[in-house]
Structure 1
Amino acid sequence: MIVTKRNLPRRTLLRGVGATLALPFLDAMAPALTALTRTAAAPTPRLGFFYVPNGVVLPEWRPEETGAGFTLSPTLAPLAPFREQVMVLTGLAHRQAAAFGDGNGDHSRASAVWLTGVHARQTEGADVLAGVSADQIAARTLGRQTPLPSLELALEANELIGNCDVGYSCVYQNTISWRTPTTPVPMETHPRIVFERLFGDGSSPEARRARLRSTRSILDSVTEETARLQRTLGAGDRTRMTQYLDAVRDVEQRVQRSEDYSVDAGLELPERPVSVPEQFADHARLMFDLLALAYQADITRVSTFLLGRELSQRTYPEIGVPGPHHTLSHHRGDDQKIAQVAKINLYHVQLFSRFLETLSAVPDGDGSLLDHTLLVYGGGIGDGNLHEHVDLPVLLAGGGAYLRTGRHVVYGEEPPMANLLLSLLARAGVPTDALGDSTGRLEGLSEL
């Protein structure tokens, strides 16, 4: 790498033995004569879609007031530090998740339709059919300038095959991302594999075993290049670089700690690592932090994140919910079960709020990563007890450069959620004529 004091290319990489490390955006990457002190570098738009399964307890989710003066609901209370950076949308629907004569299977249709707006074909075989998802439409444009066009993450095992939901293939629940109508994009659950996709890996089980047994960090292999680069940077960039490298090392060490037991036990490593953090919260935080690093280093600008598969029977004893999630969601009005589901909904939002905190602490242009990232949080089922695909839980976060946040907006006549996806794509610089059952762009996202 040749470094000059004029400006650095945005795609500058630090290269070491077996490792390549992308850099965050630095002032030195702004072209000469367009200093950030005069005008901020044009923000890089990023998109993220976060899915929660089995519906929500709507009375606990939905704020009572509308407009800018709304009070966060009990479920959304953890977002209080970011109240002015979120927007709650009420009244959107996904009508294409209805049965249309296919019978039950609402859970599979819910996740398949969420980013596609297309009714999924009922099949147990390989002939699955949905539609191109919003994230992959975005990746075709935003991914042209990044090492990874998109990043797909999940927190629940998704190796199930065959029939998972009344004649529907498990594929429909295993992912929310579709590259083509017949090509679902696999979602990765293992933090080690994600880390190595971002920053390099060993190409064989032996190489991975050596990496796991080594106490060296990936950063050690780029020490000389890092020092050389640091000498060319201004004070602000040096601080930004130090913070970024510290974050990389922290995530790497947490991945290593989560896998130590595999090495210490002398187990034979398979072609793919097998361990993830045992606790759900630890797993979630680690995957969120990896995603934040991917955004910060501009390794990707588009992501999808599955907090749980539809029909998830995960239990959450750590928050006092020993019962399985999906079973509890069919509460039939039982107050105790409703309270348990509300705890799960709250727990998920708490973890998401921490992710927002991470993004808000990372400088990006004239703001933060949170300012320049459009995040959608929600699911394809509204009331989980009734399997309804109307009044969907929809939360927008970040994107202050593109949205008028800090509001609760209520829509009448149940506009398709695909209209929202069209609008967000346009704001991210990916104008699209149609998506699924869209009828036009959704109004009310920028208006006072």
Structure 2
Amino acid sequence: MLNRRQMLQGMAAGAGATLGLSLLPERLLASSVSRGNPKRVIFFMQNQGFDPATCIPEGMKRSGSLAKVKLPEPIRALEPYKERLHIINGLHGLHTSPSHSAFFGALGGYRGGDGVPPSASTIDYELSNVLPQTLLPHLCIGMDSIENMTTKPTLATLSASGAGQPIFMHSNPNHLYQMLYGGISSGDIRRQHEARSNVLNQIEMLAAEKGQGLPPAEQQRYGQYVQGFEEVNGLRDRLDTVADHLRQFAPEVDSRYTRPEFETDWHDVLLDLGISALTSGITNTLTIGSGRGEIFGAWKGLGIEQQGHNLGHMEQPGNPIWIKIRQYNSRMLVRIMETLESVPEGSGTMMDHTLIVYTSNNADRQHTNGANWPVMLLGNFDGAFKTGCFTQLDGKRPINSLYTTLLRAAGQNCDRFNMDEKLAMKFDAGNGPIGELLV
């Protein structure tokens, strides 16, 4: 196997001069001596809730080892990886008002709602800033029905860079492939990439010119619009500087991209693109929204005819439909782990320095008050987290405390995430990270 650090040497050298002092070669490598081994975080958010009975081994009522228990059928694919698994029950999100979905509040730890803009940044974005800087700091992908992914190829409901600053998920794999690998492609993909690049460059210039004539009160808001085009065009230019490196990681484009039989074909290739962005080193933070943080979603490729909101009104434990969906999720998690495990990094593999956070934007179920918010962690984040165990908490600490724990493990000095003292007095019985989760 190729050593990832050796592969990234060429990438950093070629891109450093282009990107300027803000992205020095040692930062691109994300492996400088002062920062230790590179780390990465993956958030996998399933809509419609995550019933604890679908992940907690039968009869397990208190914290303990998973070594001698059998995982429930919905997550049975994770059985060979129990030593890397940590199941957490007893966090809450009462203050997020999840109901149909907490939307941005699921990863932000604040009150969310349908059509409500984010009130602060989300944990995935904050971690992307704390972890070593990369060419694409944060990638979000969203999985839904073919109809929704086609008509709305981008959608923002889960991630945000700040108050009123949503981050869009990519749901059309053809568009995402063009963004990541269009510069190294040929044929129609290359022609579409060049045409799109020319159009976006022109739009950026025109938008910048028009904005100069706006009243001062409007210029700031309009400037955010222009900045969006600058970021897209800048990312494309940065990726072009490392084209030779990217060729080693670009997935093969097949009929699933252009002629998907089911939406799960697009789900699968979107996952491939997300994994390739991680293994190539162009990002270290990936957010996956299955159902895209809303009440929709479809899995006809699994033999499930029911779609959308109706799925949320079904009991999950023992339900063959939800067993299929959760098993599909678990297989996706296994694909991520197996791929990262196959890539050497430092004295181990990429998976040794990775943490996967699996939960729902809906706490435990549809129409929930958020009193219980189950979470699964996979990986130990370079030895920071306990694994191979189940932890039952007392329901008095919010999901914000988990996010505080993640930031602490990433090296950020943080006692509370998106929760002031007044709110904490009502919703958090503790302070700082959750000690039961850390080594």
Q: Matches of 1:11 and 1:395 in 2, distance apart?
A: 34
Q: Matches of 2:416 and 2:30 in 1, distance apart?
A: 36
| 1:106 and 2:108 correspond | no
Structure 2 gap segments, 5+ residues each: 1-5, 17-25, 195-239, 425-430
Using the aligned pairs only, state the percent identity.
24
Q: Indicate the SS of the match to 1:411.
A: strand
How far apart are 1:139 and its partner, in Å?
2.1
Pick from 119, 139, 142: which aligns with 2:131? 142
| 1:298 and 2:286 correspond | no
Q: Indicate the SS of the match to 2:253.
A: helix
How far apart are 1:186 and its partner, in Å?
0.8
Which structure shows the higher helix fraction? 2
Equivalent residue number for residue 193 of structure 1: 175
Q: Indicate the SS of the match to 1:76.
A: helix
| 1:417 and 2:399 correspond | yes
How far apart are 1:376 and its partner, in Å?
0.5
Give the TM-score normalised by the residue count of structure 2.
0.70
Q: Identify if the C-alpha distance between structure 1 residues 149 and 211 changes in structure 2 by more than 3 Å, giving closer, same or farther.
A: closer
Q: Is the 8 A contact 2:184 2:247 kept in 1?
A: no
Q: Is the 8 A contact 1:107 1:310 kept in 2?
A: no
Q: Identify if the C-alpha distance between structure 1 residues 90 and 44 changes in structure 2 by more than 3 Å, giving closer, same or farther.
A: same
Equivalent residue number for residue 214 of structure 2: none
Matches within 5 A, 1:11-410: 11-13=12-14, 42-64=36-58, 65=60, 66-68=63-65, 69=67, 70-98=69-97, 106-108=99-101, 110-120=102-112, 124=115, 128-142=117-131, 145-156=133-144, 157=148, 174-201=156-183, 208-209=190-191, 247-248=249-250, 251-254=251-254, 257-260=255-258, 277-331=260-314, 338-401=319-382, 402-410=384-392
Q: Matches of 1:357 and 1:185 in 2, distance apart?
A: 28
Length, aligned pairs only: 358
How far apart are 1:45 and its partner, in Å?
1.1
Q: Identify if the C-alpha distance between structure 1 residues 259 and 75 changes in structure 2 by more than 3 Å, giving closer, same or farther.
A: closer
Q: Matches of 1:206 and 1:160 in 2, distance apart?
A: 21
Q: Identify if the C-alpha distance between structure 1 residues 335 and 423 changes in structure 2 by more than 3 Å, giving closer, same or farther.
A: closer
How far apart are 1:199 and its partner, in Å?
3.6
Equivalent residue number for residue 205 of structure 2: none
Q: Matches of 1:372 and 1:326 in 2, distance apart?
A: 37
Equivalent residue number for residue 222 of structure 2: none
Q: Identify if the C-alpha distance between structure 1 residues 259 and 137 changes in structure 2 by more than 3 Å, giving closer, same or farther.
A: closer
What is the aligned-residue RMSD (CA, Å)? Answer: 4.0
Pick from 430, 434, 439: which aligns with 1:442? 434
Q: Matches of 2:347 and 2:184 in 1, distance apart?
A: 37
How far apart are 1:246 and its partner, in Å?
5.1
Q: Is the 8 A contact 2:182 2:193 kept in 1?
A: no
Q: Identify if the C-alpha distance between structure 1 residues 194 and 84 changes in structure 2 by more than 3 Å, giving closer, same or farther.
A: same
Q: Matches of 2:159 and 2:393 in 1, distance apart?
A: 26
Q: Matches of 1:180 and 1:303 in 2, distance apart?
A: 18
Q: Is the 8 A contact 1:85 1:400 kept in 2?
A: no
Q: Matches of 1:29 and 1:55 in 2, distance apart?
A: 34
Structure 1 gap segments, 5+ residues each: 16-24, 35-40, 99-104, 162-170, 213-221, 227-240, 262-276
